[in-house]
Structure 1
């Protein structure tokens, strides 16, 4: 997963560039430093969830304490790259004394998406195989039983 679509911007995890599609060309808006990239990755991986300052400290700086000013400066740089407004955010929302939340829609690499779909299909097949082996009934038998119960309920309600 090299590129991540965040709202109307793209973030390249390898080059640390944030770009925007303008006139059928990607225009680089900003180049993030390593810490900014790590913060953005944490926000993406925890999309629509609050990421605490403590999490940033341990995951980005590998320490238990980082000053609020240091984190604020990195978040401010990210907001500037996304042309975001802290008072009316569309990308990064501040939760005072708690942390930050990524609000913008996130789309990861389509290859990764198809891989997840295949994994999901495999898990569903395993579930049905387990269900059948444990209960010794087929899905058809379950559906017939549900249909029978529905008919009985209709008769009783008349």
Structure 2
């Protein structure tokens, strides 16, 4: 698939042993970026979606372009303290400590059908927390869409274990 070949791997970033999958090389390539968004548009153009919720920061790039093409609303999912108006949040566990994702209290309405978008699914902690936040606000998570799946890290299985559908344009196994 042409998308995977346009993603750069940066060894030992952000720490030794990690193979970082960098989508900036995909985004700077006009053909690669167009193919990425078009493949997602093709998948979701027939689906009933009210809003796209995208996780900061690279998810914003994919999610906002997709929301524009589908003609639906865009909702930014941010880390704690980054949104200016009243928020609701969900705390989740990290390997060492906790983190929190937040949405504005008026971002999701009861009954909204929401597509969750991010650049990559690794362990799935942030995506799972975001799904819980969306459903706690009365929204329904239609699917979780990613450019990249790292299946060895278990995020897809984690989300599917909670009843969520997961889609990714490409996978990087191992290393």
Shorter-normalised TM-score: what interval? under 0.3
Question: Taking CA–CA contacts closer than 8 Å with sequence separation of 6 or more, which of the two structures ends up with the larger relative contact order?
Answer: 1
Q: Which has the higher strand share?
A: 2
Structure with max Cα Rg: 1
TM-score by length of 1: 0.28
TM-score by length of 2: 0.26
Q: Which has the higher helix share?
A: 1
